[in-house]
């Protein structure tokens, strides 16, 4: 868990705060925090795996495609294909393939925790990822939604973004060179995190305007 003392503010526009862990730099860990309130609609009913479909629908200019591979009451397997960030630098577009589980915690405060981990196998016939896409390794991300009331939610999303798989010790030099080639320039290192923040900004606006 990232402590507040390691975090530096990247952007707090639109009442959505994006922080970066500046102590454990190699982890490329970020945190997005915001509240959503709608006195005219019980937004607590929106909590669930359906939020991921909503994120796609609200961000089609960012997400090229979204597919649910498997889903049940406890987990969902998803593939996101993102439009290119840093195309002018020859950076390949990215994809995420994750399994997310949901757990409800009733005390001391009611919340729902969504834990996402990378899926390492793309050999399933239901999965078709064009060769031009490079995997964006999230390793593990945790989205915690606190139920302040039926009309107010607090979002806390911690995630890491990497272009290589440090959990795989079998990468050869060609793989490493390819990963280095597809890394964003230093001055653009926050661009993907800012893109994800933009997605959640739109979720906040949509949530607060529901009737």
- Chain segment 58-87, per-residue pLDDT in tens: 999 999 999 999 999 999 999 999 998 766
Lowest mean pLDDT among 15-24, 25-34, 115-124, 182-191: 182-191
In this structure, the strands spanning 63-71 and 29-37 are unpaired
- Torsions phi, psi of 162, nearest 5? -135, 150
Please tell me whether residue 27 adopts helix, strand or coil conformation.
helix
Q: Where are the domains of the chain?
A: 12-209
Contact, 64 vs 94, CB < 8 A? no
pTM value is 0.85
Contacts of 190 (CB under 8 A, 6+ apart): 10, 18, 20
Fold of 12-209: Alpha-D-Glucose-1,6-Bisphosphate; Chain A, domain 4 (3.30.530)
CA–CA dist 93, 84 (Å, integer): 4
The predicted structure's pLDDT at residue 3:
60
pLDDT band at 89 (very low <50, low <70, confident <90, very high): low
The predicted structure's pLDDT at residue 155:
98
More confident residue, 129 or 57: 57
Distance of CA 174 to the CA centre of its chain: 28
pLDDT at 187 over 90: no
Number of other CB atoms surrounding residue 178 within 10 Å: 15
CA–CA dist 143, 126 (Å, integer): 26
Q: Phi/psi zone of residue 15: left (φ > 0), alpha (ψ -120 to 50 degrees), beta?
A: left
Task: Quick: pLDDT tens for 29-54.
Answer: 999 999 999 999 999 999 999 999 99
How many residues does this entry show for the chain? 211
């Amino acid at each position: 868990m990232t402590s507040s003392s390691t975090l530096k503010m990247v952007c707090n526009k639109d009442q959505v705060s994006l922080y970066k862990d500046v102590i454990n730099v190699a982890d490329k860990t970020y945190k997005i925090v915001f509240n959503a309130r709608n006195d005219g609609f019980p937004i607590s009913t929106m909590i669930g795996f359906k939020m991921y479909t909503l994120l796609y629908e609200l961000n089609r200019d960012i997400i090229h495609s979204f597919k649910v591979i498997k889903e049940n009451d406890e987990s969902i397997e998803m593939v996101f294909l993102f439009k290119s960030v840093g195309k002018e630098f020859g950076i390949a577009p990215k994809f995420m393939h994750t399994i997310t589980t949901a757990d409800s915690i009733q005390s001391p405060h009611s919340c729902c925790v969504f834990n996402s981990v990378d899926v390492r196998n793309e050999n399933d016939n239901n999965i078709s990822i064009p060769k031009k896409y490079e995997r964006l390794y999230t390793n593990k991300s945790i989205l915690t939604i606190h139920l302040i009331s039926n009309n107010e939610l607090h979002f806390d999303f911690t995630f890491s973004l990497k272009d290589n798989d440090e959990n795989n010790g079998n990468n050869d030099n060609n793989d490493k060179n390819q990963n280095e080639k597809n890394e964003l320039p230093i001055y653009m290192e926050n661009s993907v995190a800012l893109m994800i923040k933009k997605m959640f900004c739109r979720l906040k606006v949509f949530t607060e305007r529901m009737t």
